Structure 1
Amino acid sequence: MTDIKLELNEKGQGSFNLYEEGKKTGEMVISVSGNELTVYHTQVVPEAEGKGYAKQLLDTMVNYVRVHKLTVIPFCPYVLAQFNRHPDAYADIWNKQA
């Protein structure tokens, strides 16, 4: 079973962590400040690549951002690539000015 948990410290830094059968399998490193969520890095362990875990992390982050009315600054190459490939899907949350 796949479980994704947002784990942030008191400064708003942390990650969306993906667990597969209790083992950490992937992460999306983020920080939240004001109304902005910055994504720095997305990674899935090599043996779990190709299973759609990065997309699950992306979808979870996007849902969190929309629920909390935030915008995204995508420094992460994976997230930026997805935003560029599907600009209409992320237009409401993509902070292009940052």
Structure 2
Amino acid sequence: MRETVKEGNSFVVKDNGEMVAEITYKPAAKDMIVIDHTYVSPAMRGQKLAEDLVRRVVEHAREANKMVVPSCSYAHAQFKRHNEYQDVWKRDQ
């Protein structure tokens, strides 16, 4: 059984209790978080797990009224591809 859970400053995908994908973020200011790492195990790649994890962080940021700095290269690419993330994307001024 596959599930996605929030663990501290991360969202983790577990498959039968084993971590197969994760995204981590850290607080950068009172109103900002930085996505700093995305990982998907080689056996699980190509299933849009990382894309779903980025979406989870975006939803979390919206709920917490925070902006997101996608410093991880994968997250940054997703922010460029998805116009619906523009409202939470903290860009360099």
Please list every run of 5 or more consecutive structure 1 residues that lacks an aligned counterpart in the other structure.
9-13
Q: Give 1:19's match in structure 2, choosing from 5, 14, 18.
A: 14
Identity %: 29
Q: Note the 1:39-50 alignment, pairs <5 A.
A: 39-50=35-46
TM norm structure 2: 0.88
Which of 34, 48, 62 aligns to 1:52? It is 48
What residue identity is the alignment partner of 1:94?
W
Counterpart position of 1:77: 73
Q: Secondary structure at the match of 1:92?
A: helix
Contact 2:51 2:78 in 1 (8 A): no
Q: Once superposed, which parts of structure 1, at least 4 consecutive aligned residues long, lie more than 6 Å away?
A: none
Tell me the CA shift for residue 91 of structure 1.
Answer: 1.1
CA distance in 2, matches of 1:27, 1:96: 23
The TM-score, its normalising length taken from structure 1, stands at 0.84
Query: How far apart are residue 95 of structure 1 and its match?
Result: 0.2
The size of the alignment, in residue pairs, is: 92
CA RMSD, 1 decimal: 1.4
